[in-house]
Amino acid sequence: MLLTASVVSQLLLAIAVPYFLVSFVIGVRVARRGGVLRDQERSDVADLEAASANYHVYFVVPCLNEALVIGATVSKLLGDNPRARVIVVDDDSDDDTVTAARSGAASVRARHRLRIVKRHQPRARQGKGEALNAAYPVILKEAARRNLDPDRVVVAVMDADGRLSPGGVQAALPLFEDSRVGAVQLIVRIRNRSKWICKFQDVEFWTISAISQFARSVTGTVSLGGNGQFTRLAALQTLSGAPWSGSLTEDLDLGLRLAAAGWRSTTTTRAFVDQQGVESYRRLLRQRTRWYQGHLSCITRLPELWASAKLSQVGLIELTAYLLVPWLIVLPWSILQQFVLYEVLFNSGQQVFATNLGSVTWIAGYAALWYLISFLPNLVIGLVYARRTGAVRMSTALLLGHLMILWNYVGYAAAWWAVARMVRGQRGWVKTARTNDAPASTEQLIFAQ
């Protein structure tokens, strides 16, 4: 059994290591070409003002009980972007979300650029995708009334707690000058990083995910997220039916549909969007389970991607690999890793120590080898994270890198919980309340079981 596990483990490593290594190297090179491996947070986009002026932006912010944060978000979006419109979709909130949103617009004297779309049960609280779809006909109607070219209209999806970096819009819009680009996804930063649980999330987003997204920009297959997502209206119009689906990861699903329709998705090294990190491990596990369930379910998009004559070969290969990662790498490795550790500690490890008991060199070499195998990828992640932000000392970054080995078990648990939910046919979900601006309120059910 251990021998079989060892062989399968080696096979998985032979597949996973080159995939992630190549992706990481390409991503770092893309970031360095942008001159922002260290300085993305201080990026100057003044040179992009003229190009961005040719576009009209509609921010869409779906809300369910977001009174704690929506006012500040609306104020910043309207204040920083004088030509943009904001559509707040109230998904039948129980709190003062609508009042807070209107107050945010009033604070920057921009009430005329705020639109509130109110939804009521039983149609409300059917998921984020349905909330976004409620704003879509509003945008179509207003764009037609203003006689706007759909190629020059951009729909920007923001979370209620999302904050764009200075000049974020000006950095994203010029990328649409490439007629093949249908969507732009900004890199995510976690802003409440004082707690270790949020530091780990920032490492994931600001380093692991960011470098991966930079690499995927080469193939035009950047994964869309639910925050800082910019989409060309003309691209959305090429999709059949409503743009956003009922998937638990409606953002990833949208990106796959756009890719199948022949649109490229990209990102920029000159802007980002920050958001709150989850400060409770129970809520974190619940959040990650939803993400994994959505990612695992999106495997059903593979036939559509493979049948598309508009998707490039390299794009198809990359998307196929991306969709297979949780199925072929994460789930098997979450189990096999334990067999590998057992083998090292109680079989091959003991044999090396017994055979070379008097050889300090052999023992030290063996220990160093397994240390590098176990920690080198995470140490590299820690080093890059330290370079990406000046707010973390190198020693702290290296410690984070070591502890990421343990952090991975959150993902393993979430992946298997997601599989269990899929087997049981469960799609209901619980929305985690905000925790940064005020004490967390009760959690709200947003998906029907």
CB-side exposure of 158: number of CA atoms within 13 Å?
32
Helix and strand numbers (H, E) in the chain are 17, 12
User: Which domains are seen in the chain, by residue range?
Assistant: 1-449 (3.90.550.10)
The confidence score (pLDDT) of residue 401 equals 87
The string of DSSP letters for 272-300 reads EEEEPPP--HHHHHHHHHHHHHHHHHGGG
The string of DSSP letters for 29-56 reads HHHHHTT-TTTGGG---GGGHHHHTT-E
The confidence score (pLDDT) of residue 275 equals 94
Dihedral angle sign, alpha carbons of residues 209, 199, 17, 11: negative
Tokens encoding 292: 């994994």
The confidence score (pLDDT) of residue 19 equals 80
Q: Are 51 and 85 in contact (CB under 8 A)?
A: no
The confidence score (pLDDT) of residue 201 equals 96
d(CA 303, CA 52): 36
d(CA 174, CA 179): 11
Local confidence pLDDT in tens for the 449 residues of the chain: 545 666 776 677 667 777 888 898 999 999 888 766 766 777 778 888 888 999 999 999 999 999 999 999 999 999 999 999 999 999 999 999 999 999 999 999 999 999 999 999 999 999 999 999 999 999 999 999 999 999 999 999 999 999 999 999 999 999 999 999 999 999 999 999 989 999 999 999 999 999 999 999 999 999 999 999 999 999 999 999 999 999 999 999 999 999 999 999 999 999 999 999 999 999 999 999 999 999 999 999 999 999 999 999 999 999 999 999 999 999 998 888 777 677 666 665 555 555 655 566 766 776 676 677 667 788 888 889 988 887 788 888 889 988 998 999 999 999 999 999 999 999 887 776 666 454 333 334 333 33
Q: Which residues lie closer than 8 Å to 27 by C-beta, 6 or more apart? A: 210, 211, 212, 213, 214, 215
